Amino acid sequence: MKTNLLLNTDSYKASMFVQYPEGTQTVYSYIESRGGRYRETVFFGLQAFIKEYMLTPITMADIDEAAEIWAAHGEPFNREGWEYIVREHNGYMPVRIKAAPEGTVIPTLNAMVTIENTDPKCFWLTTYLETALLRAVWYPTTVATNSREIKKIIRKFMKMTGADLGGLGFKLHDFGSRGASSNESAMIGGMAHLVNFMGTDTIAAIVGARRYYNEPLAGFSIPAAEHSTITSWGRDKESDAYRNMLTQFAKPGALLAVVSDSYDVFNATENIWGGELRQEVIDSGATVVIRPDSGTPWEIVPRIAEILDTKFGSTVNTKGYKLLNNVRIIQGDGINADSVELILNEMVKRGFSADNVAFGMGGALLQGVTRDDQRFAMKCSAALINGKWVEVFKDPITDAGKRSKKGRLELVKRCGVGSCGIQTVEEQYARDGEKMLRVVYEDGQLLVDDNFSDIRARADIVEEKDPVAMYED
């Protein structure tokens, strides 16, 4: 279903073309995270939006549809302005969008995107596009940020307990597709998670990475049971259901996941997996991943690990932590940044390496985020009026956190001895350092086409410490 870009906005935007001062030629705005739960964000998602919505010209049919709806809705409609875009710009948006490279880890309170109109007659267009553009940035950036913060937690425990960091990319699996508000949300949020990890059950995310970021296959999964494929065998044949999973999928080197709490997860772990089927698991050469799916995660997971240790045994790594033989655990219920840390803390207390457990994250990953998590906003900071650039800003006395930036902006990376910092400055003060904002779109043309692999590399965790934010006095 094609989206009419003229209607991809808020109602009040329709009347703004007559609200600016007479003689306005250019409106210049920027997007930033004004703070929030985390001190840094992983910028992602703009390219997908541009490819989907900004490379297809608007048509007179779009204008006719919008005119009818705006009239009935009670808002004025700038038909002349939109017809001018169709006539003079072949329906393409006469705007210039600059942005940091996607995947860049940017401290909060920094401009990551700027937008301005390139045709003086379309000064009203910049803020008309705010609704769509801000949504295109805040949601995937917040998901990518949350995913990366959990990656930091898991990485910390893996290093602490001597786990192989080569497996870090598969420690947080995307279970969130069914909990997302739409297939498009699942696609966008799922791609954002894949910036940091390689495991997903959200097929839409793989499709999106192929379509928008030139990535043939961004994520992977394994055969896994659900409750219906276990409970359909009946409680008295629970072991037959598990044995069928081994028959179908267990072979040397394979991984398979089996939900095991349809009835009694402790009985399933101790007496079925660790008793009746124990030798079959060992002989198969596969690794069976036991999935508890209820209860308090930081109590259940360590208890399951201890049962499996008594049944299958473990080896002790160079840092003195146990790694289970033949089996692993995946916790897919109640997962968020806090519960991941609690679970891994309890595992460490009992002497288990973090390599024994992986996590599946659903609604909290793709749906449990809001624009306020990182306080995203798009604000006008400059305008060209009667040939003169003027600073535009807000500074509400009731909330200093909503103070906005002034002027035309640049994001600059400056490096000193042993560290680099990222700083937003006005363009005239960006004489030294690396200018990070690139023109990615101008007048209907995509000027940067990032590959997913490059985005992943930028977002990768290479140091334990956070990047440095620099601010002007």
DSSP letter for each residue of 369-388: --GGGTTEEEEEEEEEETTE
Question: Who contacts 128 (Cβ-Cβ below 8 Å, separation ≥6)?
Answer: 9, 13, 16, 17
Question: 287-291 and 327-331: which strand pairing?
Answer: parallel
Question: Would you say 17 and 374 are in contact if contact means Cβ atoms under 8 Å apart?
Answer: no
Domain boundaries, the chain: 5-141+370-460, 156-366
Domain 5-141+370-460 has CATH 3.20.140.10: yes
Q: Mean pLDDT in each 10-residue stretch from start to end of the chain (473 residues)? A: 86 95 98 96 98 97 96 96 98 98 97 98 98 98 98 98 96 97 97 98 98 98 98 98 98 98 97 98 98 95 98 97 98 96 98 98 96 97 98 91 93 83 92 93 98 98 56 35
pLDDT for 420 equals 83
pLDDT for 473 equals 29
pLDDT for 3 equals 84
Q: How far apart are CA 235 and CA 356, in angstroms?
A: 28
What CATH number is given for 156-366 in this structure? 3.20.20.70
Paired with 318 in beta bridges are: none
Q: How far apart are CA 259 and CA 45, in angstroms?
A: 33
